[in-house]
């Protein structure tokens, strides 16, 4: 029953807007409390505290309902777009004005029903007081809408800046990987031309798939673990042409985590480090394992190898620095990377990211 109700609500109000709508409601309710306390303390007619609270909360909540969640429900008719559904147009402005009037009327009726008196009588008994109430409610409502609009606009600018930063980091990573691969290809041409041709064919396929995936990601705005693991498989197959049986790998992605979003090329620098510093120095090579799982602190992504290992964590090279910077940029301090290694015992990097709801 609860699942059906949640699914039905999601069709009207997108799930990713629930938290923002609730936060705005909390702000409205805090200000409603302050307004009711102010009216109760300075009111000329000494209204009781409970009446002030009922009027303030009923009016504020009604106006919030019409101008916030119901606005998102009517997003198609109003021409609102994701992710924040805050767009100003003539139709939206007219709707907001109607929503404020309807919310004020509904909230006032609730307050009148509780207090046992009619606010509408003030139109004839004290027009100045009635229109004072009405204009003050209108001003406060538009103040809220302006604040929320500016706040969401600021968040949108921050999101765009973050995406631009991630794209810049991605554009730095791709040439880095390509140059390393070309250097390996050049060495292979002199020792094993046949494998060099096979590696060049793999590189061509990998670059074609990467270009196609990048275009899809740019239009959709998302890169999932499914996409990330597919690119890792292509890259590892490319490296397997050069290293042969010295390179073995395992990719473990549970189906229930495949939808999780991650920055593109997040894990590839770690896999490159495993090959370059762990497996290549070893005559027998080794195995690389990449896995995703649910952990106590969120989504855990682990990249490990059975290579030569080392004593302390090495100086932050390009790949490691890029991974840390991308985590900081994409998740704003909510993600971290742990690195462990020992001589002869391989290397292990563990990334902990926020776990997203399906």
Enumerate residue ranges in the chain where pLDDT < 50: 1, 166, 169, 172-173, 217-221
* Cβ neighbours, 10 Å, residue 33: 15
Determine the number of helices (DSSP H) and then strands (DSSP E) in the chain: 12, 5
**CA 201 from centre of chain:** 37
Look at residue 173 in the predicted model and tell me its pLDDT.
Answer: 44
Look at residue 350 in the predicted model and tell me its pLDDT.
Answer: 93
Strand pairing class (347-353; 298-305): antiparallel
Strand pairing class (247-252; 286-295): parallel
CA atoms of 210 and 252, how far apart (whole Å): 21
Query: Would you kindly state where each structural domain of the chain is located, as residue ranges?
Result: 2-158, 192-353
Look at residue 358 in the predicted model and tell me its pLDDT.
Answer: 59
Look at residue 289 in the predicted model and tell me its pLDDT.
Answer: 96
At 299, is the secondary structure helix, strand, or coil? strand
Q: Which CATH class is domain 192-353?
A: alpha beta
Q: What are the tens digits of pLDDT across the range 189-213?
A: 877 788 778 778 777 777 776 666 5
* 56 touches 39 (CB < 8 A): yes
CA atoms of 238 and 244, how far apart (whole Å): 10
Look at residue 249 in the predicted model and tell me its pLDDT.
Answer: 93
Strand 347-353: give its sheet, edge to edge: 247-252, 286-295, 298-305, 347-353, 336-341
Look at residue 294 in the predicted model and tell me its pLDDT.
Answer: 93
Look at residue 163 in the predicted model and tell me its pLDDT.
Answer: 57
């Amino acid at each position: 029953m609860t699942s059906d109700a949640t699914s039905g609500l999601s069709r009207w109000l997108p799930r990713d807007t629930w938290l923002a709508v609730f936060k705005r409601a909390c702000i409205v309710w805090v200000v409603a409390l302050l307004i009711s306390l102010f009216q109760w303390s300075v009111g000329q007619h000494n209204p009781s505290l409970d009446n002030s609270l009922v009027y303030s909360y009923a009016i504020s909540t009604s106006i919030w309902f019409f101008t916030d969640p119901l606005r998102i429900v009517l997003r198609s008719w109003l021409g609102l777009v994701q992710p924040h559904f805050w767009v100003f147009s003539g139709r939206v402005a007219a709707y907001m004005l109607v929503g404020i009037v309807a919310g004020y009327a509904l909230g006032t009726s609730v307050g009148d029903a509780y207090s046992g008196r009619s606010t509408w009588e003030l139109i004839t008994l004290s027009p100045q007081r009635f229109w004072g109430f009405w204009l003050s409610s209108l001003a406060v409502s538009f103040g809220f809408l302006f604040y929320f609009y500016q706040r969401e606009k600021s968040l949108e600018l921050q999101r765009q800046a973050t995406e631009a930063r991630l794209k810049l980091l991605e554009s730095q990573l791709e040439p880095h990987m390509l140059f390393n691969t070309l250097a390996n290809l050049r060495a292979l041409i002199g020792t094993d031309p046949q494998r060099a041709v096979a590696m060049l064919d793999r590189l061509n396929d990998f670059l074609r798939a990467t270009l196609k995936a990048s275009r899809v990601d740019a239009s959709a705005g998302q890169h999932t673990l499914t996409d990330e693991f597919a690119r890792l498989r292509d890259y590892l197959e490319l490296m397997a042409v050069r290293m042969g049986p010295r390179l073995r790998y395992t990719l473990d992605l549970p189906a229930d985590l495949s939808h999780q979003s991650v920055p593109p090329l997040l894990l590839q620098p770690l896999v490159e480090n495993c090959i370059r510093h762990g497996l290549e120095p070893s005559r027998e090579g080794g195995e690389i394992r990449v896995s995703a799982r649910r952990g106590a602190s969120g989504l855990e992504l682990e990249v490990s190898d059975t290579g030569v290992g080392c004593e302390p964590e090495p100086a932050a090279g390009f790949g490691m620095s890029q991974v840390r910077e991308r985590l900081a940029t994409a998740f704003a301090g909510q993600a971290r990377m742990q690195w462990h290694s020992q001589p002869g015992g391989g290397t292990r990097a563990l990334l902990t990211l926020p776990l997203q709801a399906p």
